[in-house]
Structure 1
Amino acid sequence: MLPRKRKSEVDAEIATTGSDKENQTAAAASAPAPVQVNSSTKKTCDEFRKEIREFIASGEMDAAEFQRAIDVSPRSYSEFLIRRERRKGPVPAEASAPVSAPASASATASASASAPASAPAPAKKAKKNPAPAPGFDVSAIHLDGDEDMKVPIFDTCDVVRKKMKAHLRKPGFTQAGFLRDIAKAAFPQSVKRLNSKSMADFLAYKGPTTGSSGVIFYAAYVFFEKLRVRDGKPKNDFRLEMEKIWPRGFERDNPANGRLWCGPHERPWIDKYGRVQFR
């Protein structure tokens, strides 16, 4: 006959065996390991800029979501991306927040991947105005004059038309989508819809100043300028010459579009920069 165990011994045995013990082991095994983030880096600022652009272009996050993830303002984000690095070597320890952003974003992505799968989130309703494709998202770029929609222009109408036609020839792009993209870029403080007929009329015009007073000219210029700034592309020779000729920006209400007073033997003509000349 086996000796009877005391109640305290039975309780101790239950505490270390049976289903409770299995549950404890399973819970310990399923707990995600803490993410270790190494704050030290030897990358340069330009390398971080390239990494940020590639990360946004991949479509994993858009620029606005990335800014929220690293907790920086759109202006700080924009200024960091367009700033040229003036020194060589690794990033200093006192570097600004956007410099260390890719490491933080990578750590966030790793933590999400290692966490156990949860129930799928309910599908969100589609937006009426979908955001532009990641390759053309310029929502993080700020230009002088954005606040009151008076960004100075340093291109002629013919140059902007040439850029528009080249952009619309790319596969997968429509005129309706392009109108949404340029409206969002040029009028960030409001919800403005641009007319397809206005764009068709502008594309049909010819001449450096023809169509300069229209909204399509302004919106398209701002969109392409923000793309240039976002991608860090240099200004071409024509752009630099326009800045010398029109230091305050190209005149949208250009006198060449109206009536001109001429001498008895003078004939007006407009040069490629939009200036009125007489011969």
Structure 2
Amino acid sequence: MESKRQARKPLDDATNRVNQTPARTEAKKPVRWDKASLEQYLDVVGLKGSARKRVFNYYTGNMPPAPRTSTTGPTLESAGTQPANTTKASTTSNAKAAKAATGASSSRKRKAETSLSLEDEIAAYKRNLDDIVDPDSFDDEIMPNCTTVRGRINKLFDGGIMTKAEFCRATGCNSNSLSNFLKAKGPMGGCNSSVYANGWRWLRQREAAGLKMPDVKKRQLQEAKAAGAGASGSKSSITTAASLPDISGIHLNGEEADSVSVYDTCDEIRKKINAHLKTPGLTQAQFCRDLYAQLNAPTIKSIQSKQLADFRAGKGSRTGAKSTVFYTAYVYFEKLRIAQGKPKSKHRETMEEIWMSRGGFDRDMDHRTYCITSSDKGMYWDQYGLSITYPL
């Protein structure tokens, strides 16, 4: 026991050793800049006026040093300076100077970003980035679920950033695989599709390169406002949500009982919806409210965005014919056509010739309706919603 105590004897003086005063270290003096280099740096960050003068005086030795301030942008401290402690007044002045430098730099960056036209921004987003970011570098990352990827791909198409053909060429997928993946439902629907993996890699490439998906509606709305402000009272050619005509005073036959005769197919209404949703400033939520307003004897509380999405995802002249979205969208676009004074399309005139004697397009039959034919014949719906039989 005695030998163990002697072995631990050096710990008896631990308190004294802990309480020893650490050696003093002299504060580093700030690195001085030569005037030419400093002038060049201040030109780069865009610092001007009194803030430029204060920063210049400080870093050329004409001003007492100040504590180092923490900023998020490009400051002179990041170039290797180490200011020491000083008075409160000098701290405030240099903090303001650093903030001014940061603000000027970020302002220049924002101006540079917004100087690109919408077309150039879209072209930059769509370009091949394989020479910058290797798409195989994301193989070890956890992929988001199919619903998330599907939503981002649909956003590309809805915004007019890419066509489906362009997306297929960019990702190496075929149109059938893309259509099947977009029709799939749920977070795991389409998880085995090549569109899921290739599409996510393509989108992830742009994230890694620091490219954000262009907000087409927002940019178009900004351009419309700018065009309207600079037009000196003349009307802008760009249609926005605020410039859409009021259709509340327009009445259609059969509207009171929600039985307006329809002369458009589901596919045609889908085209109109997709084009209408590109209107700057128009949201899907607002469009759903506009559709619900066309019902005079509603049997539902509202039209949800999911109902709109389900209808838009369909394909076929009768796919979605029983949907409330189909009927209300037809009424809405017919009123909008009348308010804008536009003529009927060729498709609309053909539909009237076919369906006028039948009281309009039959909304009691959709893609889920079973039809009985003879064993030697098959049946399909043509582009006008008519049932066509053919020999097997």
TM normalised by structure 2 equals 0.36
Higher RCO (CA < 8 A, seq sep 6+): 1
